[in-house]
Structure 1
Amino acid sequence: MRHPDISRSGSVRRPQVTGRWPGGRPGEARWYAPVAVAADAAGVLVPVLLVYHLTGQPRPLAAAAVATVGWLALRAGHRRYRPGRLGESRGLLASAHDWLLLLGLLAGLRAVLGEHSEVSAAALALLPAPLVTGLTAAALHRHLTRRRHRAEAVRRVLVVGEPDAVDAVVSRLAAGTDHAYVTVGAVLLGPGELTSGVPPLSRLPIEPPAHCPEVPDLIPAGTDGSGVLAAARRQSADLVLLVPGTRLGGDRLRRLCWSVQDAGLALCVTSGLTEVARHRITVASAAGLNLLHVAPPPRRGAPLLWKAATDRIVAALALVVLAPLLAALALAVRLDSPGPVLYRQTRIGHRGTPFTLWKFRTMVPDADRHRPALETVNEHCATPLFKIRRDPRITRIGRLLRRTSLDELPQLVNVVRGEMALVGPRPPLPDEVARYGTVELRRLSVRPGLTGPWQVSGRSELSWDEGLALDLAYADNWTLTGDLDVLARTVRAVVSGRGAW
């Protein structure tokens, strides 16, 4: 998906930027904070009053007031309502974290004050709080994302650096519209031209003058500082993004930072790290250097043991609950076309271990035998994938099962057996893995999943490179809360059917 500031022809369109916060800071609409506070208050006050009245608990109004004030205080104490924060994420981890703290706080107050309401009633009354908060945060996130699709609530960014480095940064920013950065121009250092379509506004000298006696050293007129500031004024930029390199580093980078910040413009510097989640990075200082410590990807430890145990328990419970649906789907497959109900296929799992994947049959029984004849119409012929939008081998019921992803449900058995996880990269075929390089093989460093980032981001509509990038980012940055987010987004992806061939 291209960013609104770059047209299909590669030329740059200057977006109409709206929705700024005071001081030129873009962010959520002004009503976000009142709505979030009101939703948080209602998510505690109303359920506590209702449950306490229906179950005959003592002092329902006092209990509701204390719980509501405690909930809002915890949320405010963690700066959940701060401008520039609401709408930036779905808030799943934040709401769960605050809710657990609320339970601990109220349990302590209960012990100190000698409150005698039933524990089961109190727990039931507090259950809706994280749900209401999470749904509100998700709604604000969707609203802010839609505004950014229209180039609203964004920052107008001027990028400064060498042409190749500027192109790389601009391309990454233009690849998504879920962030606040819209590139409106570039200031270049050194030879070379831009290919990203962003307008080059000026070019700084390769080596700045040693001294300009007519002005203070902090802002040397006619060199880096004035050139960047002139370009920023020309494009009404409110953020200068510096891309360090061989020609922009050390003392020159520091002086340019002074110039930009003394002029009142916001400033940020790229680190060169990509696809590394923020929770893996810590900042330290040594000898005047700012050091980024990058934690290794999670490959062992308690969180992974918890994930494996939870996946198996949830999958086993799902098989029990979904047993009638599974039986109905099996009957539909059997009646629709001759052949077995289940399709078994060898896939490659964690660390290259092969296993047998199960799914409801969606093709004619001898589909694999017909595949070589269809290689010429493979829509991913330059990649290890084999995908055809209208595959003639798919049966009538198979199209429905694929669109709704119901054909994947038997893989819950694979999850129970420990061969797969609920969330992870999709398990590849052996012939696909045979074409993998060292980069692609990192997909196998985690267990394959029943669903994953690829499925909730477009499925077959994504290119091989886009899907690979999502899988590698998941493998390197996996978290339990990220899995919960993918599971929640899976429901929406299944309902929409987007990219399901």
Structure 2
Amino acid sequence: MVTLTSRQTTAAVPWAKNYARRLVITDILVLIWVVFGVQIAWFGFDSAALSGSVADLAIGYTAVSLAIIVAWLVVLAIYDTRDHRYVGTGSAEYRRIVDASIRLFAFVAIVAYVFKIDLARGYIFIAFPLGILVLMLSRWIWRQWLNAQRQGGRFSAQVLLVGSRPSVEHLAGELARHPEEGYRVVAACVPDGIIGDTLAGMNVPIVGRIPDALKALNSSGADTVAVTSSEELGAQAVRELSWGLDGSRQHLIVAPSLTQINGPRIHTRPVAGLPLIHVEMPRYEGSTHLLKRTFDVVGSTLLITLLSPVLLVLALLVKLTSAGPVFYRQERIGQNGEPFRMLKFRSMRVNADDELQALLARQGTSGQPLFKVENDPRVTSIGHFLRKHSLDEFPQLFNVLKGSMSLVGPRPQREGEVAMYDDAARRRLLLKPGMSGLWQVGGRSSLGWEDAIRLDLYYVENWSMTGDLVILWRTVKAVLQPGGDAH
């Protein structure tokens, strides 16, 4: 996703106040339910009192619960957990909820220690973690609703793109690909702009040239200007453009030429009046990858143990429904180009590989580096079910335990596919291939080569343990509810 850096962040967004009010109401209900619920569960319905070194501190826990709820709501507001810049996408909203809650917990602990107030530890140590979890759950539910609204173009910034035609078309395509980010492109100004023309392949009207940006902003109904690269947009031109905006309702966004880079790798640092963007380079060794390997070993061991009855049933189904071995072993290319034998439940008839090239040639895709056959006639009756729910991939847990694969990583591909890689695609081999990955949760069989490589490269460049956990959670949902793109 293109990194967007707002130059005017204090102005209100038309939909933001209404959405923030809804979050306030939900937060109040959540905190009342959690804090008073824990109080009742811990003390019952009796009016419990707490004691301290000062005699007049002997007050009821109901007053303490009310004080905690009010203080919690205050710190959630102070840490901008309902700000339109953070809600709806990314992890910033959740991080701010956790940060605000931990700081409140620390403040309560310090006050109790200083004034020697004997707060029940169970009451405190249950209320805060439970409150954080339920707050995040409520925000996640609101996020699903907000994303659905944004798919229809509502609750989004109305963006006018200004810059060179290639950079504007690229940014417009990226924003259209991710409507949940909350940016809807309504018009564009380019150097050779002809009013009435549209951006290539998109229904985005061109409303003028770059000097016409301020005039076009008002006529197009946009509330946000996104400036991309262009020879006509020097530092002075961008400054003058910002001076012409109404700070109460219009925003300026600068979109640098950085793509497929995750937020944690980006750090903005003002130097001599210049907002310099520092981009950390990805690393493929060290303690974080030792942690990933430890997670793979522990995770695969637990899953093999828990799923052993399921693996046995699936093995019997494969054996009883078609002739041939239970398992299918195929050579795939792993980390740093090293080949390995990948293990799967057999979902095709015996010697299916011998038919592959003929089937690819028949559908005209033999020259593409993604060997995928539509309506594959080689798949067995039970194989369709196994593939739809990704059950045929369960034996790859043994590949993960052995170390040739990871629970999460790029899609493992065959030698013939890897031979067609360009330099960019070859970066997929910097990490171990995964049982699951962004390709698994981002479209599976419906993905073309360009989309598949884009997702894998994004993962390789931005890997993190937190990201792996999110992908695994989305994988569970994709297996249970595979949808129409799984076959």
TM-score by length of 2: 0.83
Matches within 5 A, 1:410-421: 410-421=395-406
Pick which of 417-426 and 312-321 moved more. Answer: 417-426
The alignment status of 1:136 with 2:138, answered yes or no, reads yes
Matches within 5 A, 1:307-386: 307-378=292-363, 381-386=366-371
Q: Which residue of 1 aligns with 2:205?
A: 199
Q: Which residue of 1 aligns with 2:223?
A: 238
Amino acid at match of 2:144: R
Alpha-carbon distance in structure 2 between the residues aligned to 1:178 and 1:405: 27
**1:360 to partner: Cα distance:** 1.2
Amino acid at match of 2:486: A
Q: Which residue of 2 aligns with 1:500?
A: 486
Aligned partners of 1:355 and 1:419 also within 8 Å: yes
**1:408 to partner: Cα distance:** 1.3
The alignment status of 1:457 with 2:421, answered yes or no, reads no
Q: Which residue of 2 aligns with 1:78?
A: 79
Pick which of 372-381 and 237-246 moved more. Answer: 372-381
Pick which of 392-401 and 28-37 moved more. Answer: 28-37
SS of the counterpart of 1:29? helix
**1:403 to partner: Cα distance:** 0.9
CA RMSD of the aligned region, Å?
Answer: 3.2
Aligned partners of 2:332 and 2:414 also within 8 Å: yes
The alignment status of 1:49 with 2:39, answered yes or no, reads yes
The alignment status of 1:184 with 2:186, answered yes or no, reads yes
Alpha-carbon distance in structure 1 between the residues aligned to 2:36 and 2:320: 50
Question: Match for 1:173 among 143, 150, 175?
Answer: 175
Aligned partners of 1:190 and 1:247 also within 8 Å: no
- Judged with a 3 Å threshold, the aligned counterparts in structure 2 of structure 1 residues 65 and 260 are, in CA distance, closer, same or farther, namely closer
**1:302 to partner: Cα distance:** 2.6
Aligned partners of 1:36 and 1:81 also within 8 Å: no
- Judged with a 3 Å threshold, the aligned counterparts in structure 2 of structure 1 residues 102 and 451 are, in CA distance, closer, same or farther, namely farther
Aligned partners of 1:379 and 1:387 also within 8 Å: no
Matches within 5 A, 1:97-496: 113=116, 115=118, 128-190=130-192, 194-195=199-200, 196-204=202-210, 224=211, 227-260=212-245, 265-378=250-363, 381-496=366-481
**1:271 to partner: Cα distance:** 0.7
Alpha-carbon distance in structure 1 between the residues aligned to 2:291 and 2:394: 22
The alignment status of 1:32 with 2:19, answered yes or no, reads no
Alpha-carbon distance in structure 1 between the residues aligned to 2:173 and 2:406: 33
Could you report, residue by residue, the CA deviation over 1:249-296 in whole angstroms, capped at 9, with x for unpaired residues? 133333233233579631112211111112211122334433211111
SS of the counterpart of 2:275? strand
Q: Which residue of 2 aligns with 1:88?
A: 89
SS of the counterpart of 2:209? strand
**1:162 to partner: Cα distance:** 2.5
**1:426 to partner: Cα distance:** 1.6
**1:363 to partner: Cα distance:** 1.1
**1:401 to partner: Cα distance:** 1.0
Q: Which residue of 2 aligns with 1:7?
A: none
Pick which of 242-251 and 128-137 moved more. Answer: 128-137
Amino acid at match of 2:467: G
Could you report, residue by residue, the CA deviation over 1:114-168 in whole angstroms, capped at 9, with x for unpaired residues? 758576x875666544442332222111111110111101121111222233222
Could you report, residue by residue, the CA deviation over 1:180-204 in whole angstroms, capped at 9, with x for unpaired residues? 2222222222478742442221225
- Judged with a 3 Å threshold, the aligned counterparts in structure 2 of structure 1 residues 62 and 39 are, in CA distance, closer, same or farther, namely same
**1:456 to partner: Cα distance:** 0.9
Aligned partners of 1:89 and 1:138 also within 8 Å: no
Amino acid at match of 2:288: P
Aligned partners of 1:88 and 1:144 also within 8 Å: no
Amino acid at match of 1:500: A
Could you report, residue by residue, the CA deviation over 1:32-66 in whole angstroms, capped at 9, with x for unpaired residues? 31244135415632552365258x9x867678667
- Judged with a 3 Å threshold, the aligned counterparts in structure 2 of structure 1 residues 451 and 241 are, in CA distance, closer, same or farther, namely same
- Judged with a 3 Å threshold, the aligned counterparts in structure 2 of structure 1 residues 30 and 286 are, in CA distance, closer, same or farther, namely closer
TM-score by length of 1: 0.81
Could you report, residue by residue, the CA deviation over 1:386-416 in whole angstroms, capped at 9, with x for unpaired residues? 1123211111111111111111111112222
Alpha-carbon distance in structure 2 between the residues aligned to 1:346 and 1:116: 61
- Judged with a 3 Å threshold, the aligned counterparts in structure 2 of structure 1 residues 321 and 118 are, in CA distance, closer, same or farther, namely farther
Amino acid at match of 2:81: R
- Judged with a 3 Å threshold, the aligned counterparts in structure 2 of structure 1 residues 379 and 494 are, in CA distance, closer, same or farther, namely farther
Paired residues in the alignment total 458
Pick which of 414-423 and 185-194 moved more. Answer: 185-194
Alpha-carbon distance in structure 2 between the residues aligned to 1:448 and 1:48: 45
Report percent identity of matched pairs: 33
Structure 1 gaps of 5+ residues are: 1-20, 205-223
**1:475 to partner: Cα distance:** 0.9
Aligned partners of 1:425 and 1:452 also within 8 Å: yes
Aligned partners of 1:333 and 1:360 also within 8 Å: yes
- Judged with a 3 Å threshold, the aligned counterparts in structure 2 of structure 1 residues 72 and 362 are, in CA distance, closer, same or farther, namely farther
Structure 2 gaps of 5+ residues are: 1-9, 50-60
Could you report, residue by residue, the CA deviation over 1:228-258 in whole angstroms, capped at 9, with x for unpaired residues? 2221121111111222322221333332332
**1:427 to partner: Cα distance:** 1.2
- Judged with a 3 Å threshold, the aligned counterparts in structure 2 of structure 1 residues 371 and 38 are, in CA distance, closer, same or farther, namely same
Alpha-carbon distance in structure 1 between the residues aligned to 2:248 and 2:71: 43
